[in-house]
Structure 1
Amino acid sequence: MLITFKSKAAAEILMYKEHARRILDLLGKDPDQGVITAPEMPHAIAVLEREIGESRAHFAAEELQRDVLAHHGNDHDDNEHEPAQIISFATRAYPLLEMLRAAQQEQQPVVWGV
């Protein structure tokens, strides 16, 4: 199922509900329907920036491990098949963070499920 984030300050953002749930849980919001008001924007932006920063720090270690495994399979001699690339939390959350920044600048809410 998809969630559409809307704001008069930015273009709509579509996101799978399972991916949006992590972001909305961090913000204490219901994934089915909700609003982030202009007064809530600074806190929401700070929470997402902090979580993105933390996920990037951990992602570097995970990326190194994937590179090693890409060159050495379970039997340490298969370099023909690389594992599927994982999309990081930072990559998934960044569009919504940008929407929140634009909404804060224009003092507009961000809504979903309406």
Structure 2
Amino acid sequence: MTTPHVPSRALSSTALRRRTLGLCALLALGAHARVRAQPSGPGPVEPVFDIPAGDLQRALEVFARQAQAQLLYRTEDLKGTVCAGLKGRLRVDEALRRLLGGTRLRFRRDVSGAFVVFPEGAGA
């Protein structure tokens, strides 16, 4: 008995690339729809901060750990700067604003969500 011949459906590299891109787009849309369909929770959790007064660089290291946040700064911008410390349950951005209060430093969020600390007047 002979095996019937099944014609192969070879795709050109362009057709294969188009199908792959189409599949990726559909998967991405499906993942996006699932994420959006999840019910929202009660809102962001406010961490409890306990940051001692003193050297600002040390305070920012403690802040980053307690807030579970990423901070970006130049150590030379912090040199010799002190802070009053911080205690209590606060939103992360409010806690950082209070830590930097009374200094010449400000912050912004970058596209990754990290906090970028920079001197006032600098074009961060």
TM-score range, shorter chain: under 0.3
Structure showing greater radius of gyration is 2
**TM-score, normalisation: structure 2:** 0.24
Structure of higher RCO (CA pairs closer than 8 Å, 6+ residues apart):
1
